[in-house]
Structure 1
Amino acid sequence: MKALVSRVVTFCFGLSMFVALPALAQQAAPDALIKHVTEDVLVVVRADRDIQSGNTKKAIDLVETKVLPHFNFQRMTSLAVGRDWSKATPEQKKRLSDEFRTLLVRTYSNALTAYRNQTVAYKPLKFTDADTDVVVKTEILQPGNKPVQLDYALEKQADGWKVYDVIVGGISLVTNYRDTFRQEVSAAGIDGLIQMLVTKNRQLEAGKSADKK
């Protein structure tokens, strides 16, 4: 079940990568931001034959330059690590956040190459100017398949709204990692979790290098 959730999260998250301008990110309401940037990226992917043909390097470049400014990776990492986050030193927290970010970027860049005529439906959002934490709900419409519920949890920061979790079919992206992370910390400590992420990222990188040969 967890493997299935991971695959669905991977595809849907990648489908909805953000390409908004920084000024728009600061000014837009959270639901307007999600809609604008999602539609922008769909236009890019539909027109880019390199990405459609599996050019993951180009997809990674897109993620690195366009996606990262709109996500709070430290909060995502702290949620994924759970109660063990408080055990980490500032340096360990930085390394965990960096490695977790790399893992997500490398994993989800693959999803950009899997786009096949999906569309997105956006649900109405009720919120006030005083709200600082909201969930924007969408659905991925897939020809011949059931719609997939895809929600974004965002928090309001000084430089605009930031995504800190993605929820697919009621399953949180960050909590989907929590059991594995907790087990690793129990077995080998925070440094062991960092090393696990480093190893996983090296394996992903090696796999991509092998694919190019």
Structure 2
Amino acid sequence: MNRLIPAIVLAAPVMASAYAAAHPAQEQMQQNIDAVLKIARNNALSEAQKVKQVEQYADRYLDYERISALAVGAPWRQFTAKQKTDFIAAFKEMVVSMYAHSALVGAADAKVKLLPKMTENANKFDVFSEIQTKSGNKYEVAYQLYKIGPVYKIYNFRVDGASLVTIYRNQFNELIKQKGIDGTIAAVKAKGLKKQ
């Protein structure tokens, strides 16, 4: 199940929902789903081209800085500005490298529907979908967003309650204790984390 979490970062669900989203955050998520579906199903593109297009699209809607800060947790305050920049770039590259292929392969067969429920707390929103894999397994995915200008930015994902940032925080905290901040950044650059 945990492998699904980063895959969702790269390839959002792939079956457009018949549900007409009532809230702008849900409408944006449906647009994101449809856009990634179009890329994933475009047989004229190579896998590398699909990965690049999904990454470029995701760059507009994923807040990599906030995701990184939440994934590192309290030690993030000890990072210098350069270390933060280096970590964000390395973490993004690691996730893309580790999960892009499986995400796009899974996108071809998965069925996803946007669920009508959502939660709202001040400027934070949880939008929910249900993913059904080719084997018939079902997972509920919560996309955690906040609004900045006209855009809802994603800062976390939860699959059946398992949080992307929490899963990585455990690994990052252990790495920081063992190798320090620069050693952790080097490990992330080398894609030295366990695949979730």
Question: What TM-score do the two structures reach when normalised by structure 1?
Answer: 0.77
Judging by fraction of residues, say which structure has more strand.
2
Residues 1:149 and 2:145 aligned together: no
1:47 corresponds to: 42
Cα deviation for residue 101 of structure 1 reads 1.3
**Aligned sequence identity (%):** 25
Provide the secondary structure at the position in 2 that maps to 1:115: helix
Structure with more relative contact order (C-alpha pairs < 8 Å, separation 6 or more): 2
Task: Give the counterpart letter for 1:112 in structure 2.
Answer: L
**Partner Cα separation in structure 2 for residue 195 and residue 29 of structure 1:** 39
Residue from 151, 156, 161 that aligns with 1:160:
151
Aligned residue for 1:209?
none
CA distance in 2, matches of 1:141, 1:40: 19
1:90 is matched with which residue? 81
Q: Quick one: which amino acid aligns to residue 158 of structure 1?
A: G
Q: Which amino acid aligns with 2:26?
A: D
- Contact between 2:13 and 2:112, CA under 8 Å: does it hold in 1? no
Where structure 1 has 5 or more consecutive residues not aligned to the other structure, the ranges are: 19-27, 202-213
Q: Please, what is the CA RMSD of the aligned residues?
A: 2.3
1:71 partner letter: L
- The Cα offsets for residues 136-164 of structure 1, whole Å up to 9 and x where unpaired, read as 01001234413111110001113521000
- Cα distance change, pair 13–145 in 1 and its aligned pair in 2 (3 A): farther
Inter-partner Cα distance in structure 2 for 1:166 and 1:157: 18
Displacement of 1:191 in angstroms is: 0.6
Instruction: Determine the structure 1 residue equivalent to 2:19.
Output: none
Task: Return the alpha-carbon distance in structure 2 between the equivalents of residues 29 and 138 of structure 1.
Answer: 15
Match of 1:115 in 2: 107
The equivalent of 1:30 in structure 2 is 25
> One-letter code of the match for 1:31?
Q
Partner AA of 2:115 in structure 1: K
SS of 1:43's equivalent in the other structure is: helix
Check whether the contact 2:13–2:33 (CA below 8 A) recurs between aligned residues.
Answer: yes
Change (3 A) 1:108 1:17: farther
Taking structure 2 as the reference length, what is the TM-score of the superposition? 0.83
Structure 2: gaps spanning 5 or more residues: 15-22
Separation in 2, partners of 1:31, 1:131: 16
Which structure features the higher share of helix residues?
Answer: 1
Q: Does 1:9 align with 2:1?
A: no
Name the SS of the counterpart of 2:108 in structure 1.
Answer: coil
Mapped contact 1:12–1:140 kept (Cα < 8 A): no
